[in-house]
């Protein structure tokens, strides 16, 4: 069993290996941006002006140790908690097939899947409750968060922690809640 990453909000691994140009996005035909349902501009995939929970999501198994940020969209109800097959907005860096680095595509609206059901408790960790203006500010932070050149240490956990740190610094996430969420994420067991 691999040890969990040792990064925390205050001590995210810093690398001198440089930043990937264009956030790791390579021009077609080498790479294509994932489909973003939010671009369809229909109510069921739109981020409405409601209060929504922001979660730190963790997928940890023998093949993956992936972190991302997510909130429900497509509802006009405040405090809606997403379920499988609900539309969600995700902020993450991902490893594309056949590419030896991570890519930051910015916010993407997708349908929540059951790929987390096997992970068990702790895979969706509440970071806080945000209004639309705060979520849009979080997206602006995430879309400009750089992706580092592969160095064997820096990964999606570091990227996520850096985005969270900037959200704390901007005043729309609570430092104690974020620190606690990071510690919970680090403790999610490998299945």
State the average pLDDT over residues 12-33.
71
Domain count, the chain: 1
Per-residue pLDDT at 5: 44
Residue 122 covered by a domain: yes
Please indicate, yes or no, if residue 9 is contained in any of the structural domains: no
Contact 99, 172 (CB under 8 A): no
pLDDT of residue 34: 86
15 in a structural domain? no
* pTM of the entire predicted model: 0.85
Give the residue with greater pLDDT, 165 vs 123: 165
Cα–Cα nearest to 185, from 59, 14, 12, 2: 59
Asked whether residue 159 carries a pLDDT value surpassing 70, the answer given is yes
CA distance 79 to 4: 31
Does the residue 40 lie in any domain? yes
User: Percentage of the chain surpassing pLDDT 70?
Assistant: 85
* Cα–Cα distance, 110 to 40 (Å, whole number): 12
Q: Which of 44-48, 133-137, 149-153 has the lowest mean pLDDT?
A: 149-153
Please tell me what DSSP assigns to residue 122.
T
pLDDT value of position 121? 45
Q: Quote the CA–CA distance of 97 and 112 in Å, as a whole number.
A: 21
Q: Provide the token pair at 82.
A: 């997403």
- What's the CA gap between 35 and 160, in Å, rounded? 21
pLDDT at 115 over 70: no
pLDDT of residue 80: 75
Whole-number pLDDT of residue 32: 83
Q: Is residue 17 part of a domain?
A: no
What domain range includes position 75?
A: 24-186
Q: What is the pLDDT of residues 165-188, one digit of tens each?
A: 999 999 999 999 999 999 999 998
Determine the pLDDT at residue 113: 77
What is the distance between the alpha carbons of residues 8 and 178, in angstroms, rounded to a whole number?
10
Statement: residue 63 has pLDDT above 70: yes
């Amino acid at each position: 069993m691999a040890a969990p990453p040792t990064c925390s909000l205050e001590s995210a691994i810093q690398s001198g290996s440089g930043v990937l140009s264009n956030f790791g996005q390579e021009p077609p035909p080498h790479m294509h941006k994932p489909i973003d349902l939010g671009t369809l501009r229909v109510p069921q995939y739109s981020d409405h002006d409601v209060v929504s929970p922001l979660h730190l999501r963790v997928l940890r198994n023998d093949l993956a140790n992936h972190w991302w940020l997510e909130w429900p969209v497509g509802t006009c109800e405040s405090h809606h908690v997403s379920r499988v097959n609900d539309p969600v907005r995700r902020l993450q860096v991902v490893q594309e097939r056949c590419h030896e680095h991570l890519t930051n595509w910015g916010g993407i609206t997708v349908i929540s899947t059951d790929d987390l059901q096997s992970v068990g408790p702790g895979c969706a960790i509440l970071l806080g409750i945000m209004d639309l203006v705060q979520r849009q500010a979080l997206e602006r932070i995430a879309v400009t968060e750089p992706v580092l050149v592969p160095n064997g240490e820096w990964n999606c956990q570091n990227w996520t922690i850096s985005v969270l740190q900037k959200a704390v610094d901007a005043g729309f996430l609570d430092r104690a809640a974020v620190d606690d969420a990071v510690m919970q994420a680090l403790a999610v067991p490998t299945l």
